[in-house]
Structure 1
Amino acid sequence: MKLTTKGRYAVMAMADLASHGGKKPISLNEISLRQNISLPYLEQIFLKLKNKNLVKSVRGPAGGYKLIKPSSEIKISNIISAVDEKIKTLSCKKESKKGCNHKSMKCITHNLWDNLDEHINNFFEKVKLEDLVNNKQL
């Protein structure tokens, strides 16, 4: 399975925001220090999260970011897709006429990995940000 650092950090940062936020905005610097994520990288991530209407920015000396919706309404899949991540276990593409590994047919394990992708995506569809913050058994 391939989930890049960007996807993992986006989920971590959103969980931090959900657990430390509330009515007051949280600065990216605070999240950066708590989660050990570089500030420039967080800025890139939060720009994408803001563009997908998951967070809003508040300007000023006490500014920062806040969740737009309650954490109970934010799916992990929404966070991952907001930062342009796709979870793929296959290197081949379903729509490719070449098949897997540049052969004219699917590889022998193609359906296994394809089904795993579906299970992972379904799992991330079911898990809410609130579940992570509350340390709910997943």
Structure 2
Amino acid sequence: MKLSTKGRYGVKAMFELSLNYGEGPIPLNCIADKQNLSVHYLEQLFSNLRKAGLVKSIRGAQGGYMLGRNPADITVGDIIRTLEGPLAPADCVIGDDTKECYKADGCVTRIVWEKIRDSINDVVDGITLQDMIDDYKKMNNKDSYMYYI
């Protein structure tokens, strides 16, 4: 399973917003510059993120975007599912409805696909933007520490 640029860029952009949480709106071009992403592409992504309540938009000269909730309350799974849709390795395990496949009750591979789906969801739902911020700070502190030795 491979994420498209929607999911990958969306997580990067949301991480950038989370680094500035509580400091007011951030213009989209600043996010794009810092993460080396296309402003036009981010506009499309942020439209969906705004509709899902993950970001808020502020108009005007001092406008931009900011997180819709605290970074500790937004998971990587929230972002990816908003931009990509359900995370499943096969169509037959997207929903809980087994009627999609007439062989579902006796399909051994379906059990494998369900386990993969559940594992992926457990991972992405277990990582918040705050976790990413914390990891980022640890990485930078480690690098700074190693630099000064």
Q: Which of the five TM-score ranges fits, normalised by the shorter chain?
A: 0.7 to 0.9
Quick one: which amino acid aligns to residue 5 of structure 1?
T
User: Does the residue aligned with 2:66 lie in a helix, a strand or coil?
Assistant: strand
Give the Cα separation in 1 of the matches to 2:26 and 2:89: 35
**Cα distance, 1:56 vs. partner?**
0.7
Taking structure 1 as the reference length, the TM-score comes to 0.82
1:89 partner amino acid: P
Query: Are 2:52 and 1:48 equivalent residues in the alignment?
Result: no
Match of 2:85 in 1: 85
Distance 1:110 1:2 in 2: 19
Match of 2:70 in 1: 70
Q: Which is bigger in relative contact order (C-alpha 8 A, separation at least 6)? A: 1
Query: 1:14 Cα shift?
Result: 0.4
By how many angstroms is 1:117 displaced? 1.2
Q: Which residue does the alignment assign to 2:26? A: 26
Two-structure CA RMSD over aligned residues (Å): 2.2
1:116 corresponding residue in structure 2:
116
Q: Identify unmatched segments of 5+ residues in structure 1.
A: none
**Contact map agreement 1:49 1:55 (CA 8 A) in 2:** yes
Q: Do structure 1's residue 132 and structure 2's residue 136 form an aligned pair? A: no
Q: Does 1:14 align with 2:14?
A: yes
Q: Which amino acid aligns with 1:64?
A: G
CA distance in 2, matches of 1:58, 1:28: 11
Per the alignment, residue 37 of structure 1 pairs with 37
How many equivalent pairs are there? 131
Q: 2:101 aligns with which of 91, 97, 102?
A: 97
* Identity fraction in percent: 35
> Does residue 4 in structure 1 map to residue 4 in structure 2?
yes
Q: For structure 2, list consecutive stretches of 5 or more residues without a partner in the other structure.
A: 139-149
Is the helix fraction higher in 1 or 2? 2
- Could you tell me which amino acid in structure 1 is paired with residue 92 of structure 2? K
Q: Which has the larger radius of gyration?
A: 2
Q: Deviations along 1:81-115, whole A, 9 cap, x unmatched?
A: 2224222222x524433659xxxx74x64422320
Preserved CA contact (<8 Å) 2:21 2:71: no
TM-score, normalised relative to structure 2:
0.77
In the alignment, the residues of structure 2 paired with residue 13 and residue 99 of structure 1 have an alpha-carbon distance, to the nearest angstrom, of: 41
> Matches of 1:2 and 1:84 in 2, distance apart?
11
